[in-house]
Amino acid sequence: MDVSVRSSMIARIKRAAIHGRTLQGFILLLCLLLPFAAHAADVQATLDRTTMQLGETVTLNLHIKDGTGMAMPDLGPLQQDFDILGSSQSSDLSIVNGQRSAELVIGVVLRPRHAGTLVVPSLDVGGARTAPLQLVVGQADPASTATADKSVFMESELAPQRAWVGQQLSYVVRLYISGNVTSGTLDAPQVDGVQLDQVGGDLRYDKVRGNRAYRVIERRYAVVPQHAGTLTIPSLGFRGVALDPNDPDSFFGAGTQVGASAPAQTVQVQAAPADWGSSAWLPARALSLSLSGWPDSGTPVRVGQPINLTMMLSATGLPAEALPPLSLPAMAGATVYPDQPKTATANDDAWLQGSSERKFAVMPERPGTLTLPATTLRWFDVTSGQEQTAEIPAHSITVLPAAGAAAAASVAAPPVAPAASASVAAMPASAMLQGVPWRWVALASLLLWLGTVLAWWLWRRRMPRGAVTATAKHASGGDARQQRQAFLAAARGDDAAAQLRSLLAWAQAERPAIRNAGELEAALADAAQRQAIDELQRRRYGNVARAANVDLAATFGNGFAWRDDVGDRDDGLPPLYPFRLE
């Protein structure tokens, strides 16, 4: 909407309010301003560096999401502490999975007017406000004026001056160029016995030395010494060609060879303390250890229900490969299935940020109190020179029986009504005598039923094993056969959840008392079938790769190999009485 049109509408609203239409004008004003609030830009402000010296320049970058075509914001608030030397714009358009995203980056080159801790103020960009930023500006080094008469020179810096084995050091080299220098080559440091990686990209800014303007190229490295002793980073060199605009031969590339070198840097590296012990040596500037996913005390957890946890380890000043592997302590009454760890190293700042993440599936195996013991990690704070401990406190939760187990218990042992018991106790002796014949009839019926069961059991013992299995499957009404076919169909795929679900359904069709995969594994006599169930649970809850030597269809192709000493019932029916005939 044009600014003049918007101003005219607001003026009309004000006039309407003056003539007694205050409510209508207020509603109209809201309707006018809501679209502007809804379309406020998503903007973020960053500095290419947060520390500098007086006389240098710094670039303020304004990242605007979907800001293509947006006008330059008002930079007036910056002029209180900075000189604005120039600005530039660049846009980036990307399409991922059909989703379009665009970003406009406005770069503003600033030169501080004085030293100290300066604040880059909040700016209004497209209706949104940026967060204020802090910039530390130091005084110019007086000793550096001796190099002000050179067209090219270099500086280097290594910090801190005392370090420990495995601690990250920050090595910075700066190349100063005044005039037109082309075809330059800057050496890379080569040091034995250290891990050395460049951090981020080259920083480019301007700086004034002795009333002479220089273009500065700053390159940062992360240096991690692997051995104790004296660490020396040798001198680095630069070679280039300077062109003189007053020399006509410079047009044809006949410039003057120029060069410079950065001074060598030396630091003493200390070995790890002798009393550190066998735990991992972790010299870091900061370290954090956390665990998420543990259920609240009010959240019900049952046997066989997985608890999904995520452990995170992050360290400042250490690469990811230096972090120890993450693991959970052993828990009585549960099995832990770990996922593959994910590690990363962020190197967009002066100090490396190593991180490690690992997921776990904790499977409770019995009801009661499940306790996750505390996890501790020792590390060494290089800034204070003191040992520190990161800790995940112990967690406990009450595990309830599986839902099927609670239902089976209520069916197998129905509660006795107190009123019925009281009526029986109060029954007169004459009434009890009248019931005696019925007791004999009931006893006779029970004996007859026991004789029938005994005859069936003797007949079953004489029949071949295969015939018994076939008879049991026929008695189950074909449900077990249908579940078996469903499992064999799922076994040909790669869906571990579907395979475990169909295998349990098949087993429960033959043994209704089985509630989860743990009970199924315990009820099988064949080691190959038990191993297949264990591997299937690891795939389901631990996200591990499928083992090449496990063929589920072949392992269970001939049916379950039930143990004879654990609920050996092939009729597929639940027990009628809480005892067994042997």
Give the pLDDT confidence of 498-512 residue by residue, as tens digits.
888 889 899 999 998
376-426 pLDDT tens trace = 999 999 999 999 999 999 999 999 998 765 544 444 444 444 433 333 333
The CATH architecture one would assign to domain 285-400 is: Sandwich (2.60)
Percent of the chain past pLDDT 70, that is, above it, reads 73
What are the phi and psi torsion angles at 3 (to 5°)? Answer: -65, -40
Q: How confident is the model at residue 60 (pLDDT cuts 50, 70, 90)?
A: very high
Is-same-fold flag (142-270; 285-400)?
yes
Strands 133-138 and 51-53: parallel
Q: What are the domain boundaries of the chain?
A: 3-38, 42-138, 142-270, 285-400, 450-555
State how far the alpha carbon of 361 is from the alpha carbons of 303, 308, 341, 422, in Å. Answer: 13, 5, 13, 51
Q: What is the mean pLDDT of residues 5-22?
A: 47
* pLDDT of the residue at 293: 94
Q: What is the mean pLDDT of residues 254-277?
A: 87
CA separation for the pair 475, 469 (Å, rounded): 10
* Helix ranges restricted to H, 217-285: none
Whether the full predicted model's pTM is greater than 0.85, yes or no, is: no
DSSP E strand stretches across 277-328: 283-284, 286-292, 301-302, 307-316
Please, are residues 367 and 401 in contact by the beta-carbon 8 Å criterion? yes
63 Cα distance to chain centroid: 26
Q: What is the mean pLDDT of residues 34-56?
A: 71
* Lowest-confidence region among 105-109, 211-215, 266-270, 457-461: 457-461
DSSP state of 332: T
Q: How confident is the model at residue 310 (pLDDT cuts 50, 70, 90)?
A: very high
CB burial string 312-336: b at 16+ within 10 A, e below: ebbbbbbbbebbeebebeebeebbb
Q: What is the mean pLDDT of residues 262-291?
A: 92
Higher-pLDDT residue of 396 and 546 is 396
Higher-pLDDT residue of 430 and 47 is 47
DSSP state of 322: G
CA separation for the pair 179, 198 (Å, rounded): 27
CATH class of 142-270: mainly beta
Q: How confident is the model at residue 22 (pLDDT cuts 50, 70, 90)?
A: very low
Q: Which two structure tokens, joined as six digits, stand for 458?
A: 């003797």
* pLDDT of the residue at 90: 81
DSSP state of 61: E
CB burial string 400-414: b at 16+ within 10 A, e below: bbbebbeebeeeeee
Angle in degrees, 0-180, between the axes of helices 527-542 and 496-510, rounded to the nearest 10: 140
Instruction: List, in sequence order, every residue forming a beta bridge with 427; answer none if it has no partner.
Output: none
Q: What is the mean pLDDT of residues 295-299?
A: 86
Q: What is the mean pLDDT of residues 39-50?
A: 79
CA separation for the pair 432, 424 (Å, rounded): 9
Q: How confident is the model at residue 540 (pLDDT cuts 50, 70, 90)?
A: confident
CA separation for the pair 418, 345 (Å, rounded): 68
Please choose, from the candidates 321, 328, 322, 316, the residue with its C-alpha nearest in 3D space to the C-alpha of residue 291.
Answer: 328
For the chain, helix (H) and strand (E) counts, in that order, are 12, 31
Please choose, from the candidates 253, 260, 241, the residue with its C-alpha nearest in 3D space to the C-alpha of residue 156.
Answer: 260
CA separation for the pair 514, 404 (Å, rounded): 9
Residues sharing a CB contact under 8 Å with residue 192, sequence separation 6 or more, in sequence order: none
Please, are residues 236 and 384 in contact by the beta-carbon 8 Å criterion? no
DSSP state of 333: T
* pLDDT of the residue at 28: 45
What are the phi and psi torsion angles at 227 (to 5°)? Answer: -135, 150
- Which strand ranges, in their side-by-side order, compose the sheet holding 51-53? 51-53, 133-138, 116-120
Q: How confident is the model at residue 307 (pLDDT cuts 50, 70, 90)?
A: very high
Q: Which two structure tokens, joined as six digits, stand for 412?
A: 């197998």
* pLDDT of the residue at 168: 95
CA separation for the pair 236, 224 (Å, rounded): 19
For residue 393, say if its preceding peptide bond is cis, omega within 30 degrees of 0. no
CA separation for the pair 386, 383 (Å, rounded): 8
Question: Does the structure show a pLDDT above 70 at 45?
Answer: yes
Please, are residues 362 and 334 in contact by the beta-carbon 8 Å criterion? yes
438, amino acid identity: W
Q: How confident is the model at residue 246 (pLDDT cuts 50, 70, 90)?
A: low
Q: What is the mean pLDDT of residues 343-347?
A: 90
Question: Does the structure show a pLDDT above 90 at 364?
Answer: yes
* pLDDT of the residue at 565: 65
CATH number for region 42-138: 2.60.40
Q: What is the mean pLDDT of residues 526-555?
A: 80
Please choose, from the candidates 216, 173, 182, 220, the residue with its C-alpha nearest in 3D space to the C-alpha of residue 201.
Answer: 220
* pLDDT of the residue at 193: 87
CA separation for the pair 352, 317 (Å, rounded): 5
